[in-house]
Structure 1
Amino acid sequence: MLHELLLALVGYTGDLIIDEREHHKSLGLHLSPDAPISDQRSFKLASDISFIDSSERDLIERLITLGFYYRELDRFATKSRNLSWIRSADVSPLERAAGLSKPKTEKPSVYRRAIANGLVEILSVYRSAVLQIEQKLLSETMPILATVTQGLNKFFVILPPLYELILEIERDDIRGGQLLNLLHKRCHCGVPELQACIQRLLWHGHQVLYNQLASWMVYGILQDQHGEFFIRRQEDRDVDYGSSISDMSEKLARLSTDDSSLTDWHLGFHIFLDMLPEYIPMHVAESILFAGKAVRVLRNPSPAFQFQDALRNQQIKKGSQKVQGSSGRVPFHKEPFLDIKMIGEELLPQSEADKIETMLQDLKESSEFHKRSFECSVDSIRAVAASHLWQLVVVRADLNGHLKALKDYFLLAKGDFFQCFLEESRHLMRLPPRQSTAEADLMVPFQLAAIKTISEEDKYFSLVSLRMPSFGITVKSSQVDLPNTKTYTDGSSGAVLSSTSSETSLDGWDGIALEYSVDWPLQLFFTQEVLSKYRRIFQYLLRLKRTQMELEKSWASVMHQDHTDFAKHRNDRMNCSISQPRRQRCRPMWHVREHMAFLIRNLQFYIQVDVIESQWNVLQSHIQDSHDFTELVGFHQE
């Protein structure tokens, strides 16, 4: 009977101790590992056993519950580790291959597999205890049940909670970060033995998490085949929320480059809150997301940037080789394309990648999860990635030069250029723009102004282009068209006049806009949202400058007409007496014009000097002091 009991303690039932589920089905076989976890204890003593008294029956019933817990935990571990084929040793290889090729209804989970590995460790300790009990019983002349109870007493506080744990995991289909959450909550208990076991399970789960973090933050690769990591690709969220493929293509079309690394930076990845463990704060998750995206950018530079950087390095080498050649040594000229493979390694040196991997390895080897150590390591990794990204954007991509170009052209710092442009296009802008040729018409004065004021040394002017959108233009109607409006008997003329007046309130040339072509990796800094803000500011400043110029031209025109009239009629006393009242009538208009010119001049001075120039100096100081890319982006957007 003791051997029957010992076998039942490791999950094998027989005639003395039966499994009610198998008994009811009259199968006489062990349950398949793929069968669901039983929510009721099914190990019982056979009802027809009469030679066991009630006290021993109660004791055996209590002991065999450990066997039931062991069997269910072992089945869960076997199923989660995909090792079910080990049990069926008598199955032929062809049948085994056919079974593996069948589609599985349950989604696999690497986190469950890790937890299963921890359960196997705990169950191995339990099996060792049962084996020691067996050896002890065999050595005794009079074996008693108290020996079994004494040897397994500590497992009564371990196996039942673990069984409840796997039952909840199986029932609610818990995986990924949700599984880590559950284990982290169960760690807070008052039983030291149980706490140690659950902490061991959590340690196994964290091994998977650290492997995913290392893949993401060291190599920029997302290793998440089963959707359990809290960082996901954007396409997964779009599918979850039911957005169409066309919506996604529109988002990608907003980017001015086809480079995959920039697509990943703007639209590629997001934080999936359902899989984010509660003990990892949101700002830490955002740092992890940023670090991985930065590493992806650094490890996947644009081919055009690689070639330009190689050419720049080649020119530097040639300059140094000329100095060496003067000392009699023959320089060796290396082709630019030979250096291209080294660019990615230079952007993120291997020593820095090893440093990141070492920090994650230290966290991985720790027996317990320490929140403070984890956050400090993530902050350090983020600082490394942000520093190298700053070096790429600010130093190698010449961020200051492009910022100066945006200031010159979008913020009208090159006042002589835009003054010349408005002078050349003044006659054109007196008429409403033609939607079909407005942009081509503006290109002539734009190029003339560039020839007169822009030097050939300005390498950024080629990145600026003039645009006149054909949509959304409200053409200013002339007064000649107004009398042609017919009056209808139904009173619809009022609507026509009201719509006409609303159209005349906006000049069609206000749609003039500039576009700036930025290359990799400046799209990380100059996003489409940032460039659209620059574009709106440019349109406003250009309207101010046009208004100022027209006010000045109107004053010059009035003064010229007044001087002409005075010279023409200076000898005619009668006309002279008439010109004096004319001046009196025009004087209020001149006062209004002077007030308008005063307002526009002061508004322009305030914007250009007190706002733009002062903020430009502040931004320059931040660029010099900060070596963090995210801080730099924040300063620029402020």
Structure 2
Amino acid sequence: MKFSWMLTVLQNQPILQLRDFENKIEYIRNVVAQVMKDIFLLGRGELFLSFIDMADILMKQSPTSTTQHDINVAFRQAMIKIAMDHEELAKQFELTLSLPPVQSSGVSLKSKMTNSWKYVGMSHKVSWPLHVVLTPATLEKYSALFHFLLSLRRAQAYLQQCWATLMTIRTGAHCLQAVWQLRTHMGFLIDNLQYYVQVDVLETQFSQLLNRIKSTHDFEAVKVAHSDFVKTLQSQLFFTEPIRRCVYEILELCFSFSELIQTLRREEFVFSSKEQEAFHRISVDFRRQSSLLFRVLSAAKNHHSAPHIAQLLLRIDYNRYFTNLS
């Protein structure tokens, strides 16, 4: 591996140049931090859009014994497609499927699973000396963050696909108006959540992490800075109840809406009675859940005096839409 080679070269020098050593250590720290952000935190958005496109059909099926291998093949292909930098380091990441355990009766729950996306996570093969910072517990937190961020990215991608599908429909205006309205409301909320996550939280916190790493040569201080970084991400990315549950309910409704629209690939947009019933249920549930999200975020902002939540509320409450609903 490149990093090991760099340190070996330094070790074999007759006289150790301290400045050269410090520069290489800082380079390693920054590159590792960047790759962690690119993979675990979806910093390379084009990589995961490509992966979603390649793996979506497979992942929308029940998991099999080969699913995990197959999605990692798709992930490597997506890396190649975008010419991923630091390829050797990126190879230490592997997608995982955290399937429920076998029941006490000995019957697997796989037969009840209809979508592998619900169980996807990310693991990382940690090399010395990063094992001190990236402990198993920390990697579990990163995997949970990855799952949430990938779910949000999928919702955004699916809604964009719905837009493309709806643009091809020429008739059925009576039903179409309500469908367009729901898709617009979903897209507005998801786009603003995505902006909040990527810009207000991830970019801001990652920049602060790099500054703290650069300002110290003490490994223990790096550990503390990284621990604070992960805790802040969990706090600001809806990992507390009831916000977490509410956000995931909204994402599931976006997935259900997308699935409904993508099955209607026909020129004339006419719902069957069953489809109309499903659409109505999704529409009512989305309105209720999005209004609930606004209320719980408002309560969290008032209770914790959180400026990041205040900024998100300002964006999603455009024209005081949710304020008037409440």
Name segments (4+ residues, structure 1) moved above 3 Å.
305-308, 311-314, 391-394, 455-459, 469-477
For 1:624, which of 201, 214, 217 is the aligned residue?
A: 214
For 1:425, which of 49, 55, 68 is the aligned residue?
A: 55
For 1:593, which of 167, 172, 183 is the aligned residue?
A: 183
Structure 1 residue 606 corresponds to structure 2 residue 196? yes
Tell me by how many angstroms 1:632 deviates: 2.2
Stretches of structure 2 that go unaligned for 5 or more consecutive residues are: 102-107, 229-326
- Name 2:125's counterpart in structure 1: 517
Tell me if the contact between 1:544 and 1:604 (Cα under 8 Å) persists in the aligned partners.
yes
- Larger helix percent: 2
- Higher relative CO (Cα under 8 Å, sequence separation at least 6) belongs to 2
Tell me by how many angstroms 1:462 deviates: 1.9
- Name 2:93's counterpart in structure 1: 464
Structure 1 residue 412 corresponds to structure 2 residue 36? no
Structure 1 residue 615 corresponds to structure 2 residue 205? yes
Describe how 1:174-193 pairs up with structure 2 within 5 A.
none
For 2:71, which of 430, 439, 442 is the aligned residue?
A: 442
Structure 1 residue 545 corresponds to structure 2 residue 153? yes
Describe how 1:148-163 pairs up with structure 2 within 5 A.
none
Change (3 A) 1:601 1:475: farther
Tell me by how many angstroms 1:541 deviates: 0.4
Tell me by how many angstroms 1:598 deviates: 1.1
Q: Which amino acid aligns with 1:628?
A: D
Tell me by how many angstroms 1:309 deviates: 2.6
- In the alignment, the residues of structure 2 paired with residue 623 and residue 453 of structure 1 have an alpha-carbon distance, to the nearest angstrom, of 29
Tell me if the contact between 1:432 and 1:509 (Cα under 8 Å) persists in the aligned partners.
no
- In the alignment, the residues of structure 2 paired with residue 631 and residue 517 of structure 1 have an alpha-carbon distance, to the nearest angstrom, of 23
Change (3 A) 1:635 1:443: closer
TM-score by length of 1: 0.31
Tell me by how many angstroms 1:456 deviates: 5.8
- In the alignment, the residues of structure 2 paired with residue 452 and residue 307 of structure 1 have an alpha-carbon distance, to the nearest angstrom, of 27
Describe how 1:280-359 pairs up with structure 2 within 5 A.
309-314=7-12
Structure with bigger gyration radius: 1
Q: Which amino acid aligns with 2:50?
A: C
Tell me by how many angstroms 1:623 deviates: 1.4
Say what the alpha-carbon RMSD is for the aligned residues: 3.3
Number of equivalences: 219
Describe how 1:181-220 pairs up with structure 2 within 5 A.
none
- In the alignment, the residues of structure 2 paired with residue 312 and residue 626 of structure 1 have an alpha-carbon distance, to the nearest angstrom, of 21
- In the alignment, the residues of structure 2 paired with residue 430 and residue 623 of structure 1 have an alpha-carbon distance, to the nearest angstrom, of 40
For 1:529, which of 137, 149, 152 is the aligned residue?
A: 137
- In the alignment, the residues of structure 2 paired with residue 448 and residue 309 of structure 1 have an alpha-carbon distance, to the nearest angstrom, of 30
Tell me by how many angstroms 1:396 deviates: 7.2
Tell me if the contact between 1:476 and 1:508 (Cα under 8 Å) persists in the aligned partners.
no
Tell me if the contact between 1:433 and 1:508 (Cα under 8 Å) persists in the aligned partners.
yes
SS of corresponding position for 1:425: helix
The percentage of counterpart residues that share the same residue type is 30
- In the alignment, the residues of structure 2 paired with residue 443 and residue 535 of structure 1 have an alpha-carbon distance, to the nearest angstrom, of 15
Q: Which amino acid aligns with 1:444?
A: V
Change (3 A) 1:509 1:558: same
Describe how 1:32-431 pairs up with structure 2 within 5 A.
309-314=7-12, 395=25, 398-431=28-61
- In the alignment, the residues of structure 2 paired with residue 547 and residue 474 of structure 1 have an alpha-carbon distance, to the nearest angstrom, of 26
- In the alignment, the residues of structure 1 paired with residue 51 and residue 154 of structure 2 have an alpha-carbon distance, to the nearest angstrom, of 10
SS of corresponding position for 1:398: helix
Tell me if the contact between 2:97 and 2:116 (Cα under 8 Å) persists in the aligned partners.
no
- In the alignment, the residues of structure 1 paired with residue 87 and residue 132 of structure 2 have an alpha-carbon distance, to the nearest angstrom, of 24
Change (3 A) 1:474 1:545: farther
- In the alignment, the residues of structure 2 paired with residue 601 and residue 518 of structure 1 have an alpha-carbon distance, to the nearest angstrom, of 33
Change (3 A) 1:476 1:405: farther
Stretches of structure 1 that go unaligned for 5 or more consecutive residues are: 1-304, 318-338, 350-390, 478-502, 564-578
- In the alignment, the residues of structure 2 paired with residue 456 and residue 612 of structure 1 have an alpha-carbon distance, to the nearest angstrom, of 20
Tell me if the contact between 2:95 and 2:122 (Cα under 8 Å) persists in the aligned partners.
yes
- In the alignment, the residues of structure 1 paired with residue 218 and residue 34 of structure 2 have an alpha-carbon distance, to the nearest angstrom, of 20
Tell me if the contact between 1:417 and 1:454 (Cα under 8 Å) persists in the aligned partners.
no
Tell me if the contact between 2:60 and 2:117 (Cα under 8 Å) persists in the aligned partners.
no
Tell me by how many angstroms 1:393 deviates: 12
Tell me if the contact between 2:26 and 2:214 (Cα under 8 Å) persists in the aligned partners.
no
